[in-house]
């Protein structure tokens, strides 16, 4: 019986990349038989968020977003990472058998440094805590975006290192990507990976004027509409792909490629994108707003979600402690 597990950092409001790369997969996976664990990675977010009030708000924001998008507490444990403190101990056990070299190769760490984020030791060891998150529940399927595949591979390595020394304690997980490649890595407004911490993201429930403003920032060039262009080179088209039906998309692509009189300008495409996105999220946005009105209820739901998760993590930690001689 498979165990699905994944997480998201409350490092800001969830964006389109989080939705297409992760949240949607998580909600869809509830229809597959198995155990389902999804969590809000608040320990992880402490590497970037340094104020208590923002962290609490962000956690509720993510919870309300998931519930609004169909996360069902009757079929999944949906919880806060820090409500299962056992993962920090598992993370220590893994850290003792993980070479520095493994962590030094992490793309996500290198990307964050390149984006001007000052690293703490916690940011550097992030993949170890993430491995603990995965291994703590005997997870077998980890639905993530492309940027996290390397971290899941590192988790496999850490599990193997530990098991080689101490016996079969941890279960080896596999990453699962969205079927569509454009959803596995959604570009940001500037064309690089959309990230909460890069200032290039679009909040998935953005609407009205702020949405138009955000979409206005998608990077374009100064070529005239009439000039024929390769639609696959335009970040704007990557965004349109996420929301438009096939027929409409092919029509825009053909007109961009042909150029001339009937070719759309970038402004025109941006208006269409804003409209399609606004409409796509209209129903869950309303639900999200309603849920955000009752923070105490959100907190209660998260605590309830942690119960089964913690039960499982306690068992796995016991197994690990026993195997390495702590008991
Ligand atoms: P941060 O900048 O704080 O790392 P993030 O935007 O990268 O935030 P995470 O919370 O680290 O988001 O990731 C949550 C999930 O969303 C992961 O499964 C990750 O693979 C997925 N994800 C993040 N960004 C994208 C993206 N641009 N396209 C597709 N999936 C993404
Ligand atoms: Mg990230």
Q: Which atom of ligand 1 is nearest to 146's Cα?
A: 20
Show Cβ contacts of residue 315 under 8 Å, excluding neighbours closer than 6 positions: none
Nearest ligand (C-alpha, residue 48):
1
| Annotation marks residue 315 as catalytic | no
Q: Are residues 128 and 36 part of one domain?
A: yes
Q: Are residues 109 and 248 part of one domain?
A: no
Minimum CA distance residue for ligand 1 atom 5: 195
User: Does 59 appear as a known binding residue?
Assistant: no
Residue 237: CATH number of its domain:
1.10.240.10
Q: Are residues 304 and 160 part of one domain?
A: yes
What does the alpha-carbon distance between residue 133 and residue 296 come to, in Å, rounded to a whole number? 26
CA angle 20, 266, 12 (to 5 degrees): 35
Residue range(s) defining the domain that contains residue 127: 3-186+295-324
285 in a structural domain: no
pLDDT 10s digits, 118-133: 899 999 999 999 999 9
Q: How far is CA 82 from the centre of its chain?
A: 18
Q: What is the largest CA-CA distance in the chain?
A: 77
Nearest ligand (C-alpha, residue 41):
1
CA nearest to 299, candidates 22, 9, 78, 137: 78
Residue 134: CATH number of its domain:
3.40.50.620
Q: Are residues 181 and 274 part of one domain?
A: no
Backbone angles phi, psi at 269, to 5 degrees: -65, -35
pLDDT on residue 177:
98
What is the number of other CB atoms lying within 10 angstroms of the CB of residue 209? 9
Minimum CA distance residue for ligand 1 atom 18: 144
The total domain count for the chain is 2
192 in a structural domain: no
Backbone angles phi, psi at 104, to 5 degrees: -65, -20
CA nearest to 255, candidates 265, 246, 245: 265
User: How far does residue 290's CA lie from ligand 2's centre (Å)?
Assistant: 27
Give me the torsion for CA of 76, 172, 157, 49, rounded to 10°: 0
Q: Are residues 305 and 225 part of one domain?
A: no
Q: Are residues 216 and 113 part of one domain?
A: no
195 in a structural domain: no
Identify whether the C-beta of residue 176 lies closer than 8 Å to the C-beta of residue 146.
Answer: no
**pLDDT averaged over consecutive 10-residue blocks of the chain (327 residues)?**
97 97 98 98 95 97 98 98 98 96 94 90 96 98 97 98 98 97 95 92 97 96 94 96 97 96 95 97 98 97 98 98 95
User: How far does residue 24's CA lie from ligand 1's centre (Å)?
Assistant: 13
Q: Are residues 131 and 79 part of one domain?
A: yes
Q: Which atom of ligand 1 is nearest to 143's Cα?
A: 18
287 in a structural domain: no
User: Does 9 appear as a known binding residue?
Assistant: yes
| Annotation marks residue 112 as catalytic | yes
């Amino acid at each position: 019986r498979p165990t699905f597990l994944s997480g998201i950092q409350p490092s800001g409001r969830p964006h389109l990349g989080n939705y297409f790369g992760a949240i949607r997969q998580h909600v869809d996976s509830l229809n597959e038989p198995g155990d389902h664990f999804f969590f809000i990675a608040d320990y992880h977010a402490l590497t970037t968020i340094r104020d208590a009030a923002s962290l609490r708000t962000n956690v509720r924001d993510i919870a309300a977003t998931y519930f609004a998008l169909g996360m069902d507490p009757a079929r999944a444990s949906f919880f806060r990472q820090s409500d299962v403190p056992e993962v920090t101990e598992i993370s220590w056990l893994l850290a003792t058998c993980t070479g520095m070299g493994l962590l030094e190769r992490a793309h996500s760490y290198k990307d964050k440094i390149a984006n001007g984020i000052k690293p703490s030791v916690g940011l550097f060891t992030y993949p170890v805590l993430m491995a603990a998150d995965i291994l703590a529940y005997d997870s077998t399927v980890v639905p993530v975006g492309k940027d996290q595949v390397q971290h899941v591979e590192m988790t496999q390595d850490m599990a193997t290192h530990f098991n080689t020394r101490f016996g079969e304690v941890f279960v080896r997980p596999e990453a699962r990507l969205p079927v569509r490649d454009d959803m596995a890595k959604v570009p940001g407004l500037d064309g690089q990976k959309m990230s909460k911490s890069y200032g290039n993201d679009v909040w998935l429930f953005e609407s009205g004027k702020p949405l138009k403003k955000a979409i206005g920032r998608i990077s374009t060039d100064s070529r005239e509409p009439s000039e024929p262009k390769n639609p696959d080179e335009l970040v704007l088209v990557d965004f349109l792909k996420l929301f438009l039906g096939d027929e409409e998309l092919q029509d825009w692509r053909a007109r961009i490629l042909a150029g001339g009189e009937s070719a759309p300008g970038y402004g025109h495409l941006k208006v269409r994108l804003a409209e399609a996105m606004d409409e796509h999220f209209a129903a869950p946005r309303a639900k999200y707003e309603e849920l955000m009105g009752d923070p105490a209820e959100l907190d209660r739901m998260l605590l309830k979600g942690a119960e089964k998760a913690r039960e499982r993590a306690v068992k796995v930690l016991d197994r690990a402690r026993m195997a390495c001689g702590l008991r």
